[in-house]
Amino acid sequence: MNEDKIIEKLQKIFNDIFTEQQVIVNKNLSANEVDEWDSLNHINLIVAIENEFKFKFTLEEIQSLKTVGDTIKLILQKI
């Protein structure tokens, strides 16, 4: 799987979670840019990503994620 396919899957997840605002997923996207991206929706994102890609993040991995680009790199490492 490549980065483009991961971004496509992440875009669907973001569309499901963030319903009040259209979010365009890119490597530089962070929680600061999305009004709905609060702690509860962060958990929802993590769970949805884990379910989509069929793996679990560790607590340390979750804490290290600052941008979507960080998430993509981690997904590539885990799959």
Mean pLDDT of 38-48: 96
For 51-75, the pLDDT digits (tens) are 999 999 999 999 999 999 999 999 9
pLDDT over 70 percentage in the chain: 100
Domain spanning 3-78, CATH class: mainly alpha
Q: How many helices (H) and strands (E) does the chain have?
A: 4, 0
* Measured distance CA(70)–CA(25) in Å, rounded: 13
Domain residues of the chain, as ranges?
Answer: 3-78
Q: Share the mean pLDDT of the chain.
A: 95
Residue 20, pLDDT score:
87
